[in-house]
Structure 1
Amino acid sequence: MEENIISTAGLEYGSDTIRTLDWKEHIRRRPGMYIGKLGDGTHADDGIYVLLKEVLDNAIDEYMMGYGKQIVIDIDEVSVTVRDHGRGIPLDKVKDVSSKMNTGAKYDSKAFKKSVGLNGVGIKAVNALSTEFYICSYRDGRCKSLLYNQGNVVTDFPEEPTSEENGTLVRFVPDETIFKGYKYKDDFIESLLKNYVYLNSGLTILFNGRRFHSKNGLVDLLNEKMTAEPLYPIIHLKGDDIEVVITHINQYGEEYYSFVNGQHTTQGGTHLTAFREAASRTIKEFYNKNFDYSDIRNGIVAAVSIKVEEPVFESQTKTKLGSRDIGPEGPSVSKFIGDFLKKELDNYLHKNAETADALLKKILESEKERKAIAGVTKLARERAKKSNLHNKKLRDCRVHYNDTKGDNVDQSSIFITEGDSATGSITKSRNVETQAVFSLRGKPLNSYGLTRKVVYENEEFNLLQAALNVEDGMDGLRYNKIIIATDADVDGMHIRLLLITFFLQFFPDLIKKGHVYILQTPLFRVRNKKETYYCYTEEERINAISKLGSSAEITRFKGLGEISPDEFRHFIGPDMRLDQVSLKKEDLVKDLLEFYMGKNTMERQNFIIQNLVTDEDLS
């Protein structure tokens, strides 16, 4: 792949200012174009997981074509090994496939009609971004392998006989100069592998000896993801190139999981838009009542998986489908999904009266509640609109998560803090491009057991909802990271709990989709005239004293407001420590909230506060 890089640093602009990068140099200079963000493994969408996925996608494509029922993955501290039992790469093409851009079998739609890795880039990106990349193809009793470093051939091994079963083995070590201090987290990998087996019933994946397998496909996925009991048995519909599961639970909002050719499209796309519209329309026509679509979809939990010929994604990381049609000669995605649901979902509801009755009851309850708060909603929206013009609670940033353009929309974040001094420190220290601040007035209301009416009646909640822009769903979310920044004392912990309760009660997807975090701030500052250490734990404080000596000055920070803006800048910068708030699959939201915020003794609440489930606890 070639790119012309034009330098305008000097006044002269001649032929010597133009350079051509070879494929591996281009990938290494512009990795974000190929794998999205880099990261160190702290987040599920960090680059090291994309590298693993690019290799796995090739193995999954082989399974989808009917070859190889088992994939073996081994990951140690730094090295990743993936062995599939597909057909194996043609031996004379192993070098081309692993080191020549735009080279692969997937351009031939007859061989790989509905594969994920279409553009011949993925495996080459893994190669270029690894300090060690080894690939070996086993095919019909013979094998061919190569060893690379940063995309450069180290050893081109001769072809030789083998007793190994057909398939491909890839081993790579991500380059630590690009993925600084990286570490794979089993939780993220296991979540990825579960999706693979849910979408490919019968496939077995072994990860470091642990077996992943699914018999019931997307039904197993929904049972894994749901955090409340379904109101009716999961509706499971399958057809050629489409699989759908639908149910409703007692929660606000909508929850979807969408897939194309086995790829988890976390940002949806044309297929998810078509599914939401077609499901709502089919259900509305079945009951022959003029239901509002929002009432039909309120509390829905669903998954849709389709297979598309030569899919078009809106980025190399393939998180949003852009295809309008199922294939070159097929119908539109919208018509394909609409026709399927019109027939199959309508038939299902006619045949299963108990399910139809339970669904109708849920829709009527949602409609009743929406109408009951309609007046309050209108007033609250007007109040929020006026407040937004001069909202003293919100110090906004310039870049937002729902911006259609921009390279750093994923960095958009909002700090929710309490108290003038803490708000002042963060506001003065923040990056005004990507970091907003929302100031609470004391402890927020305990919203446990209350209806959505309170979101509009309580000015603080209404303004927070307006700031986040989530009233009409997650599509409008303005900040990728919602960071709760409170003091590390009992009062601060209680505020965390009240905010998490609010999100779980009314906007559970914020937590389920990984948008809610807790900011860690230092408890101590240990310094002498030459060095300063900020310590987040007692152990770090002891280590700092041992380094600086017993005469070091030790300061205990009692609250965020005691930390000067100059110091605070370090704690909310690129290396800030965040704990992602997560839900375990066994945590039913109703039970969780009752346990957290029901009529508990103070001792029990203190226990709960000390045991808040965060991503750090799950690692």
Structure 2
Amino acid sequence: MSNYTEENIKTLDWREHIRMRPGMYIGKLGDGSSQDDGIYILLKEILDNSIDEFVMGSGKTIEVTVKESEVTVRDYGRGIPLGKMVDAVSKMNTGGKYDTRAFKKSVGLNGVGTKAVNALSSYFKVQSVRDGRTREAEFSKGELQEEHPEKDTTIRKGTKITFVPDEKIFSNFKFRTEYIEKMLKNYVYLNPGLRIIFNGEEFYSENGLKDLLQDNIEEEIVYPIIHLKEDDIEVALTHSSKSYSETYYSFVNGQNTTQGGTHLSALKEAIVKTIRDFYGKNYDASDIRKSVISAIAIKVMEPVFESQTKTKLGSTDMGGDLPTVRTFVNDFIKRNLDNYLHKNPETAELLQRKINQSERERKDLAGIRKLAKDRAKKVSLHNKKLRDCKQHYNNAKHSRNLETTIFITEGDSASGSITTSRDVETQAVFSLRGKPLNSYGLTKKIVYENEEFNLLQAALNIEESLEDLRYNNVVIATDADVDGMHIRLLIITFFLQFFPELIREGHLYILQTPLFRVRNKKETRYCYTEEERRKAIKELGKNPEITRFKGLGEISPGEFKNFIGKDMRLEPVMLGKDTTIDELLEFYMGRNTPERQEFIIENLVVENDEGMEVVDAI
């Protein structure tokens, strides 16, 4: 054994530590294909400071610009004190939020966020304007490169920060406007009166969480949105007429707590208790909460989160002389929801009718659900469809493992390659037997009657809600041919029909695998597009060997590990801005309309000797 001496003990400065262990500060790294990837956390850390300025009554507009890899955030708050500006963005544990008088209910209380962005950026520039004076400084990887002297200015007060994430840490990254827009919309819902301008488009909300539900609900609702608000808490609530699942949006001090926490648990409990008391009936909790769509935002003094990325509230107390989070939320719902239902008897009647309907549906399904669960348990003992991994998204003691992934494959050859080359710690494989059933227009009953759907539902653990989802990333891995595309569409239809929140919450992806391998005696290149193929042929010189992969089963396990490891390319499945789920399913999976035929013709891809070519018209 080697000697263990003083030389083995190392002290890293703050920059080295953040760059060596970025996951401790921003969660997973990623390439921008997931909404919880590090590049979005960098943006959020800068934005949080600007939001806190608005909350403190300074600066009603924030401008966000993203041009390829460069991000700029400009607020019109008070500006960082000029004498401490450089320290505020480059000295750990330096900030204005330790004084709880100034930032009593802020998110960023640890003085780390902006420093982490600085350390993880190849370029970082800060400018502050206060009282007609301005100062600028530029950094690279946390190191001060240039500090401009303080000078007079006529521009408006505030802070402007520009950064470029370091490609050595965030490889092949790409900002997706859909994720940024979702983040910015949440900020304005939580801060009525705030304007955020993103690449020229303005986001604004007057009615807070009520606007959030109205903008996100695609289906019909049973009754008008109930909007309740007091100091430090706001709740919006309704029920969908079609959805089978529960949908919640939760926030603490402006932070989107995607994994919930003590406040969300309290909300669910309070809704059930208040409704039981109001109607004087001991309804089953699942009947009350089925199809519920709700949002909650609370403000807590010095909140405790269960990870640095602050996605789950761990605090049990509101802070100061206030009660526990559970008591606070329960009292608020009991007082306000009960009062609302008494004052709005039509809504109360519609809600009770919905609960009774859910009760009838649950009892009708009870028999088949029990059979399906028993069948799933028996199969799970020797389930050849699921090759599970050791770690799961829902069983972490503290922060959830964002790397947990399940690949949904077609056939034995593809699943065999992935199973052999996967990481058994965090990657599972679920194998389909040919094409799954087209579930468009079918009821939830089919999920239990169809063995494949039932086993998939059981593998993901999403029957009741997403709360116990076993894998953060659900990845469809099918061949890039006609049959593979059809299977992909059928799986997406299944999730859209019965578990749309899986897509809404950003858990569903398509695995991108290379179409070509181009190599010579010295180098091998894997190409995902025709453009990459042409570039590889040009750069590798005369007569390289070119292989066209027509199916996942053709790729050997030894090669496959290159495509599902750290350089894995995932394409997120997203819902468009202006299309409802019903419209989407009707278009792709409904009757064979002329519009769909036209769409297929316009997007037809054919293959020739030179590779692939898109045919625009036939």
TM-score if structure 1 supplies the norm length?
0.92
1:117-128 alignment, distance < 5 Å? 117-128=108-119
Shift of 1:258: 0.6
Confirm or deny: 8 A CA contact 2:306 2:399 kept in the other structure.
no
Write the distance in 2 (CA, Å) between the matches of 1:528 and 1:131: 34
Paired position in structure 1 for 2:303? 311
Shift of 1:600: 2.6
1:323-402 alignment, distance < 5 Å? 323-402=315-394
Structure 2 gap ranges (5+):
605-618
The answer as to 2:77 corresponding to 1:78 is no
Residue type at the aligned position of 1:97: A
Confirm or deny: 8 A CA contact 1:227 1:585 kept in the other structure.
no
The answer as to 2:587 corresponding to 1:591 is no
Residue 19 of structure 1 aligns to a residue in which SS? coil
Write the distance in 1 (CA, Å) between the matches of 2:482 and 2:526: 21
Range moving further from structure 2, 21-30 or 510-519? 21-30
Write the distance in 2 (CA, Å) between the matches of 1:526 and 1:477: 39
Paired position in structure 2 for 1:485? 477
Residue 97 of structure 2 aligns to a residue in which SS? helix
Paired position in structure 2 for 1:167? 158
1:278-297 alignment, distance < 5 Å? 278-297=270-289
Confirm or deny: 8 A CA contact 2:125 2:162 kept in the other structure.
yes
Write the distance in 1 (CA, Å) between the matches of 2:376 and 2:463: 12
RMSD: 2.4
Write the distance in 1 (CA, Å) between the matches of 2:399 and 2:50: 31
Shift of 1:272: 0.8
CA pair 533-97 structure 1, distance change in 2 beyond 3 A:
closer
Write the distance in 2 (CA, Å) between the matches of 1:360 and 1:418: 44
CA pair 148-568 structure 1, distance change in 2 beyond 3 A:
closer
Residue type at the aligned position of 1:497: L
Paired position in structure 2 for 1:248? 239
Confirm or deny: 8 A CA contact 1:134 1:145 kept in the other structure.
yes
Shift of 1:576: 2.6
- What is the aligned counterpart of 1:96 among 80, 84, 87? 87
Paired position in structure 1 for 2:96? 105
Write the distance in 1 (CA, Å) between the matches of 2:598 and 2:437: 18
- What is the aligned counterpart of 2:419 among 427, 436, 439? 427
Q: Deviations over 1:253-299 (max 9, x none)?
A: 11111111111111111111111111122122222222111111111
Residue type at the aligned position of 1:519: L
Shift of 1:610: 8.8
The answer as to 2:233 corresponding to 1:218 is no
Residue type at the aligned position of 1:388: S
Paired position in structure 2 for 1:142? 133
Residue type at the aligned position of 1:368: R
Range moving further from structure 2, 569-578 or 80-89? 569-578
Confirm or deny: 8 A CA contact 1:41 1:182 kept in the other structure.
yes
CA pair 212-276 structure 1, distance change in 2 beyond 3 A:
same
Residue 160 of structure 1 aligns to a residue in which SS? strand
Residue 159 of structure 1 aligns to a residue in which SS? strand
Paired position in structure 1 for 2:256? 264
1:602-613 alignment, distance < 5 Å? 604=596, 607=599
- What is the aligned counterpart of 1:235 among 226, 229, 237? 226
Write the distance in 1 (CA, Å) between the matches of 2:160 and 2:30: 26
The answer as to 2:74 corresponding to 1:69 is no
- What is the aligned counterpart of 1:202 among 184, 193, 197? 193
CA pair 553-145 structure 1, distance change in 2 beyond 3 A:
closer
Range moving further from structure 2, 558-567 or 184-193? 558-567
Write the distance in 2 (CA, Å) between the matches of 1:28 and 1:77: 22
Residue type at the aligned position of 1:65: M
Write the distance in 1 (CA, Å) between the matches of 2:256 and 2:328: 19
Q: Deviations over 1:473-514 (max 9, x none)?
A: 112111111111222222222211221111112111111111
Paired position in structure 1 for 2:615? none
- What is the aligned counterpart of 1:188 among 158, 179, 183? 179
Write the distance in 2 (CA, Å) between the matches of 1:537 and 1:491: 20
Shift of 1:542: 4.4
Range moving further from structure 2, 125-134 or 370-379? 125-134
The answer as to 2:440 corresponding to 1:440 is no
CA pair 147-290 structure 1, distance change in 2 beyond 3 A:
same
Confirm or deny: 8 A CA contact 2:520 2:544 kept in the other structure.
yes
Shift of 1:139: 1.8
CA pair 585-230 structure 1, distance change in 2 beyond 3 A:
farther
Q: Deviations over 1:516-538 (max 9, x none)?
A: 11222333444455554444344
- What is the aligned counterpart of 1:44 among 25, 35, 52? 35
CA pair 95-361 structure 1, distance change in 2 beyond 3 A:
same
When the two structures are aligned, how many residues end up with a matched partner? 603
CA pair 611-577 structure 1, distance change in 2 beyond 3 A:
farther
Write the distance in 1 (CA, Å) between the matches of 2:543 and 2:145: 54
CA pair 493-480 structure 1, distance change in 2 beyond 3 A:
same
Residue type at the aligned position of 2:208: G
Paired position in structure 2 for 1:114? 105
Q: Deviations over 1:439-465 (max 9, x none)?
A: 111221222222222211211111111
Paired position in structure 2 for 1:520? 512
Write the distance in 2 (CA, Å) between the matches of 1:353 and 1:542: 68
Residue type at the aligned position of 2:565: G
Shift of 1:84: 1.3
Write the distance in 1 (CA, Å) between the matches of 2:475 and 2:9: 44
Shift of 1:596: 2.6
Confirm or deny: 8 A CA contact 1:252 1:508 kept in the other structure.
no
Q: Deviations over 1:351-399 (max 9, x none)?
A: 1222222222221221111100111111211111111111111111122
Q: Deviations over 1:102-143 (max 9, x none)?
A: 222211111111111111111111222223322232222223
Shift of 1:469: 1.1
CA pair 239-600 structure 1, distance change in 2 beyond 3 A:
same
Range moving further from structure 2, 32-41 or 402-411? 402-411
Range moving further from structure 2, 592-601 or 247-256? 592-601
TM-score if structure 2 supplies the norm length?
0.92
Residue 437 of structure 1 aligns to a residue in which SS? strand
The answer as to 2:578 corresponding to 1:557 is no
- What is the aligned counterpart of 1:414 among 406, 411, 414? 406
Range moving further from structure 2, 360-369 or 541-550? 541-550
Write the distance in 2 (CA, Å) between the matches of 1:442 and 1:77: 40
Write the distance in 2 (CA, Å) between the matches of 1:521 and 1:67: 49
Write the distance in 1 (CA, Å) between the matches of 2:327 and 2:508: 36
Residue 112 of structure 1 aligns to a residue in which SS? coil
Shift of 1:41: 2.4
CA pair 503-94 structure 1, distance change in 2 beyond 3 A:
same
CA pair 205-247 structure 1, distance change in 2 beyond 3 A:
same
Shift of 1:609: 11
CA pair 316-394 structure 1, distance change in 2 beyond 3 A:
same
Range moving further from structure 2, 374-383 or 98-107? 98-107
CA pair 163-334 structure 1, distance change in 2 beyond 3 A:
same
% same residue: 66
